[in-house]
Amino acid sequence: MNSYKPMEDSMDVKSDEIMLKANDGLQLMVSKSAVKKPEAVIVIVHGICEHSGRYTHVVSRFNSWGYSVYRYDLRGHGRSQGDRAYVEDYQLFIDDTDLVVDMAKKENAGIPLFLVGHSMGGLISAIYGIQHPDNLTGQVLSGPPVMILPAVQGILSLDYKAKARTPIPNSLTNAISRNKDVIDAYNSDPLVLKEFSMMLMGEMFIRAGQWIVANRKKYNYPCLILHGGADQISPPEASRAFYENIASKDKELKIYEGLYHEILNEPEKETVLEDIHRWLEAHL
C-alpha cells in the first residue's frame, strides 16, 4: 500500500509526497507538484549522489508554465530506501522510473508526458527511452553520460562485483557549477552522499554505458539534449555522439560554452530553462 503525505499548497499547485513501492518491495520517495489543468506532465530523474529536492527551483518554473511535475529519489538516494549509492543491477533504476511514469500517466490520462533526466538520470532516461519507446511524448537530457566515460575506459574488464561495497569518494563538488552558493549548498546538504559504491559505478558507468552505446541506434524519441561545454564530469562529446547516432529525426543538441556539469544550477540557468520551455511548448 502506498502512503500519501499532503504538503502545503501554493499558487494553485497541489503538492504531495508519496512512498511508492518498487517491484522488489523497496520504498521510493516521490514528490508531486500538480497544477490545475496541466498542459504537460514532467517526470524528473536526478543524478548520482544527489536527490530530487535539489530541483525545487526547476519544478517551480515548470509549474509556472502550466506543467505538473513528478520527481523521485533514486533507490539508495535521498529519502528513498536502499543501501546508499548502491544498486545490484542498473535495470532496477529503469524499472523504478517506469513505475513513476506509469503513475504520472494514469493520473494525467491523455496529457503529454516528458522525461527530464540530468547526468546519471539522463543515462537512465535514455535507456528508458529505448526500452519503452511508446510511453512518452519526448525527453530532455541534461549532461547525460551516454557513452563509455574516459574515467572508466581503462577498467572495462574490472570485476567490480568482487569489490561491490568498496566506497568511492564523491569528488564532484567543485565541478558541478561555477556558482559558489551552489557548491556550498551541495557540501552542506545532508542528503547529498559523500561517496558511492564500486557496484553502482560498475553497473552504471561500465555495464549501462556499454549497453547505451550498443543500443543507441534504437532510440527514436523527440529529444532535446543539453550539455555544458566545460563539463568536467560528463564530457560534451557524450551528447554529441548520442545525437549523431540515434534514430530520432526530431532531435536538438545544445552545447553551452563555458558551463559546468549542472547547467540548471549555473549562472546562466534561466537561459537553459527558457530553452527547455521553448522546446516543450513546440512539442505539446
CA atoms of 212 and 122, how far apart (whole Å): 11
Partner residues linked to 251 by β-bridges? 223
CA atoms of 143 and 260, how far apart (whole Å): 9
Instruction: Give yes or no for a contact between 234 and 264, defined as CB atoms under 8 angstroms apart.
Output: no
In DSSP notation, 197-254 reads EHHHHIIIIIIIHHHHHHHGGG--S-EEEEEETT-SSS-HHHHHHHHHHS--SSEEEE
How many structural domains does the chain have?
Answer: 1
> Which residue segment(s) compose the domain that 88 sits in?
3-282
Note down pLDDT in tens along the chain; length 284 residues: 333 333 444 468 999 999 999 999 999 999 999 999 999 999 999 999 999 999 999 999 999 999 999 999 999 999 999 999 999 999 999 999 999 999 999 999 999 999 999 999 999 999 999 999 999 999 999 999 999 999 898 899 999 999 999 999 999 999 999 999 999 999 999 999 999 999 999 999 999 999 999 999 999 999 999 999 999 999 999 999 999 999 999 999 999 999 999 999 999 999 999 999 999 999 99
Domain CATH for 139: 3.40.50.1820
| Residue found by looking up cell 502545503 in the block | 8
The pLDDT value recorded for residue 151 is 87
CA atoms of 79 and 73, how far apart (whole Å): 6
CA atoms of 153 and 205, how far apart (whole Å): 10
Partner residues linked to 198 by β-bridges? none
227 SS3 class: strand
Dihedral angle over CA of 43, 47, 51, 56, nearest 10: -50
Tell me which residues are annotated as active site.
119, 231, 261
